Amino acid sequence: MNIDFGFVLLALITSYASVQGFVLLVMASKPDPAATRPVTGPPRRISVLVPCFNERKVLRQTVESILASRHVDIARVICVDDGSTDGTIEVMRELCRRHGDVITVLGQQNRGKAAALNHGLTVVDTEFFVAIDADTQVLPDTIASLLAGFDSGRVGAVSGHMLVGNRFPASRTVFDAQVREYEFANNVERRAFSLIRRITVVPGAVGAFRSRAVARLGGYPEGTLAEDAHLTMLLLMNGFEVVHRPSAIVLTEAPDTLGSLCKQRLRWATGKTQVMLKTAGPALRRRDSMALMWCYMLWNHSILPLFSVLGTVFLPVLAVLILVREGPAPVLLVAIAVLLLNYVYLRVTRRFAHSLDAEGRAAAGLPDTQSGLLSTMVVPMVSSLVTWVAWYRVLTGRSAAWNKLDRTGDVRVPVLEEGRL
């Protein structure tokens, strides 16, 4: 590649990412009625789906946290065993003996998470349901807060607010990197898009759904590694609104080593790229705001990560090469301006997002965290690498494994652990 062309390209991409981030930051700072609507009225009846595959270490704590929920009427907690081999089904039966009919146990051969969720949907008979990963624990008011987000019949889904809950991570750098990433996703991107009621992804870890909306779509779509992103996209394309509730806090177990982080992010990158390609035709034929949303998601989830780290790392290198070849030139000022813009963007958004999570982390009993330069770079570098691999897999038709992570059972809701409920 020509050095001058490469420099201009990386400068434009880096500048665009920073400017886009500032726009999202401005949107996220505006008040959002859907995000702050209080929990009112009588408790709503709700079903909770918990898909399980080899979740023996974490399932009990997750179900106990669900049953400790306040201001809701738990109709049933539906645990779907997707062919586990580690004794998960025994934990489910123990929960049945302890809590009675509120626990429903379903089983199937290993067919994947989407199939497990669809199996669970066959016994949902409530207006709304909540889907929670087996490694994710809710706070006492989380589910009630999610349901408060359904402020009109147009809302099809409500996203929860995930916090990394690992207490003793194997790698502090990997842990801090994900804390920073979750802070941005929750407090900048989701808050910004909730303002226009178009959250791009309701995470599989926690989300509430209008049952008839999901039934209208035929349940969770199968055939990708990102059923959460796929379902969210279909809801938006069918005219439903999707919002975020910052007060609906959950603690989730995140990968705590670099290897497990790479496995998880490869699955995410592959799944999101699959979703973008599967929904391209229907989304672009609409020629409305949904087509623009699809373009935004394709660019930010499947294209921009290919080059995001390259801009930060190689832009100064190319600037130096051009200076050596041509002597002092405006290119130096351009490089300095772009990198300074990127630095200011990272500092401002990190401080903004971190401040908004401080209260939630304290409520969840989680300590404050600090981030160094290395932890700031970990997730972007991993995302860039796995996105290249994901495109290769998708374009060549290579089969993609789920790459399920081994659980540590490291997450605890303090108020449950200390017996204060």
* Selection from 163, 89, 141, 140 nearest residue 411 by Cα: 163
Give the strand order in the sheet containing 136-138. 103-108, 72-82, 44-52, 128-132, 206-210, 155-164, 241-252, 136-138
Measured CA distances, 21 to 16, 291, 310, 313, 338 (Å): 8, 20, 18, 19, 14
Q: Which tokens go with 224?
A: 């990708």
Q: Of 50, 47, 67, which is closest to residue 127 (Cα–Cα)?
A: 47
Q: Are 212 and 205 in contact (CB under 8 A)?
A: no
Residue 26's pLDDT band (cuts 50, 70, 90): very high
Helices (H) and strands (E) in the chain, counts: 16, 8
Assign 331 to helix, strand or coil: helix
Q: What amino acid occupies position 405?
A: L
Strand-pairing partners, residue 157, are: 209, 242
Mean pLDDT of 363-375: 74
Strands 241-252 and 136-138: antiparallel
Domains (ranges, CATH) in the chain? Answer: 3-25+291-396 (no CATH), 43-275 (3.90.550.10)
Pick the more confident residue, 374 or 400: 374
2 has a pLDDT exceeding 70: no
- Helices 227-237 and 258-286: crossing angle in degrees, nearest 10, is 20
Is the pLDDT reported for residue 73 higher than 90? yes
Specify burial of residue 152 (Cβ count, 10 A radius: 0-12, 13-18, 19+): exposed
The token pair at 276 is 């973008």
Q: What is the pLDDT of residue 17?
A: 87
pLDDT digits (tens, 9 = 90+) for 291-331: 999 999 999 999 999 887 777 677 777 777 776 776 666 77
Q: Which residues are registered as beta bridge partners of 242?
A: 157, 198
Report d(CA 47, CA 38) in Å as an integer. 21
pTM: 0.91
**Does pLDDT of 403 surpass 70?**
no
308 close to 20: Cβ distance less than 8 angstroms = no
> What value does the mean pLDDT of the chain take?
88
Query: CA quadruple 184, 165, 211, 32: dihedral positive or negative?
Result: negative
Average pLDDT over residues 256-272: 93
- The kind and range of the H/E element at 77 are strand 72-82
**More confident: 149 or 372:** 149
Check pLDDT > 50 for residue 421: no
Average the pLDDT over 110-136 and give the result: 96
Paired strand residues for 46: 74
pLDDT band of residue 420 (cuts 50, 70, 90) is: very low
Region 60-81: mean pLDDT is 96
- Kind of pairing, strands 136-138 and 72-82? unpaired
Query: What is residue 242's predicted lDDT score, i.e. its pLDDT?
Result: 97
Six token digits for residue 56: 């023996």
Per-residue burial over 264-274, b if 16 or more Cβ lie within 10 Å, else e, is bbbbbbbbbbb
Residue 265 has a pLDDT of: 93
Cα dihedral 263/269/273/279 (nearest 10): 100
Is 383 within 8 Å of 138 (Cβ atoms)?
A: no
Q: Which of 65-74, 159-168, 317-326 has the weakest average pLDDT?
A: 317-326
Beta strand 44-52 pairing with 128-132: parallel
